[in-house]
Amino acid sequence: QVQLVESGGGLVQPGGSLRLSCAASGRTFYAYNMGWYRQPPGKQRELVARITIGGSTNYADSVKGRFTISRDNAKNTVYLQMNRLKPEDTAVYYCNVFPQRQDFWGQGTQVTVSS
């Protein structure tokens, strides 16, 4: 079992940056592929970035070149560096394993991009 706690969200102007963190409990964090997901207002949750156990990454087209996912297994943490943010990036951001597991969802962290 893994418990996930997201942090780092907030209000940012278009073009700004934020770094999200996801702290995982449990001793087997290193054994999971991890993903960052987001749910914009009124829309379904979507995968935006994922990172494998070995560190390979993959991104949704909408964030490619602007977002970077990384992980620190020693700290049981996965990060999402978000640059050149756009209003359409406004959403609640969640981390989860990949493929997602329903019992692993945390509370998420709100990201609002607005002037």
Query: How far is CA 36 from its chain centroid?
Result: 3
Local confidence band at 28 (pLDDT 50, 70, 90 cut-offs): confident
pLDDT tens string 41-80: 999 999 999 999 999 999 999 999 999 999 999 999 999 9
How far is Cα 94 from Cα 96, in angstroms, rounded to an integer?
Answer: 7
Question: Is residue 105 within 8 Å of residue 35, measured between CB atoms?
Answer: no
Local confidence band at 27 (pLDDT 50, 70, 90 cut-offs): confident
* DSSP, res 26: S
**Mean of all residue pLDDT scores within the chain:** 95
pLDDT at 58: 98
pLDDT at 1: 74
